[in-house]
Amino acid sequence: MKKIHSIFISACLILSFIATSTASTITDTVEQNIYLSTWQTYHYTHDLTDNDFVLGNALSATLSINLYDDNIGLWFLPDGPEKTLFVIENFDFDTGGVTFGANDFYNDLGIQALGAINYNGLLDITVTSLYGDFFIGDSVLTVDVPAPTSIAILLCALLAFGVNQSRKAKR
């Protein structure tokens, strides 16, 4: 019986290790069509709390912001190159940065932004036009979280391990 119990515990621990390496994905899209000209700023927030997100479960995340040019310029003076500042959570370039031209923004979230998501399920974003004018399109936040089955298997393994330890302590 002891051998079967040990095999069960070992199998649960191995399964929990394998299962926790898989993740599911939560995607939050903020649909927008906002025009910015030089020195204008726009602020918005991604809210994962309405997507069955469990606080503290974000393993990794990416943020994609669509920018597109208004293409308005005089025939002799074309629309100049845009410069855009992206601030994700705080001004530290952990995740944010500067783009030149009306280029889309795509970046993996750094530790500070990922910490904010794990803390309250929100990600604050500020977009500033340093030069030029453009439109801010959709913003897509993709967060990898542990798959629910992974958590269940891990809990099963921990429970089995705890039962085994309590049996050893009683001996």
CA distances (Å), origin 51, targets 27, 45, 46, 142, 144:
8, 14, 11, 12, 13
Give the pLDDT score at 47. 94
Please give the Cα distance from 44 to 30 (Å, whole number).
9
pLDDT digits (tens, 9 = 90+) for 156-167: 666 666 666 666
Q: How confident is the model at residue 76 (pLDDT cuts 50, 70, 90)?
A: very low
Tell me: pLDDT of 16 over 60.
Answer: no
Q: Taking the model in full, what pTM does it have? A: 0.70
pLDDT digits (tens, 9 = 90+) for 140-155: 999 999 876 555 556 6
> CA nearest 83: which of 73, 98, 97, 95?
98
Q: What is the mean pLDDT of residues 66-80?
A: 65
